[in-house]
Amino acid sequence: MKTQTKDTALGSMQIVCFNIGKEEYGIEILKVQEILKLPAVTPLPKSADYIMGVIDLRGKVIPIIDLGVRFGISEKGAKNKRAIVVDIKGKRIGLAIDQVSHVIKLEHKDIEPPPPIVKGISGKFIIGIGKVENKFVIILDIDQIFSSEELKQL
């Protein structure tokens, strides 16, 4: 039985799709402020391993998070080429990724809830699994990627 996710209540949503390694992920387009080529990142001493550092984006200091390291699917120091700037609970944060692939529109019927195997810590990051042609896109809930305590540190 399908369950309705909170963001797909109106029937469809547009997703910005991107890659980390060989996996394809997506974020609802309304959460994305901009996509940019990753500029030079200034490292921050004694920060969490998934925090690459900060960048200057038109006079604003933006923390850059390595999503691959955060999810445990790539090692620190992997070459990220792009950043997606998002707003997470009022904070602008850059998510370092490998590449943006495309934007898709998914109907509610094409989004399945996360399977029981991803319940727990990683399951809270996932809104659902989108079916696109013969591939899957893991749709992330960026508001859940960081705890309140972690957001305070960013």
CA distance 41 to 39: 6
In this structure, are strands 32-37 and 82-88 parallel, antiparallel, or unpaired? antiparallel
- Per-residue model confidence (pLDDT) at position 72: 81
1 falls within a domain: no
CA distance 150 to 142: 13
Residues of the chain with pLDDT under 70: 1-10, 75-78, 80, 118-123
- Per-residue model confidence (pLDDT) at position 61: 94
- Per-residue model confidence (pLDDT) at position 5: 43
Residue 25 lies in domain: 6-153
22 falls within a domain: yes
140 falls within a domain: yes
Map residue 82 onto helix, strand or coil. Answer: strand
Q: pLDDT by residue (tens digit) across 105-143?
A: 998 888 888 877 765 556 678 888 998 888 889 999 988
CATH number (domain holding residue 12): 2.40.50.180
101 falls within a domain: yes
Total domain count, the chain: 1
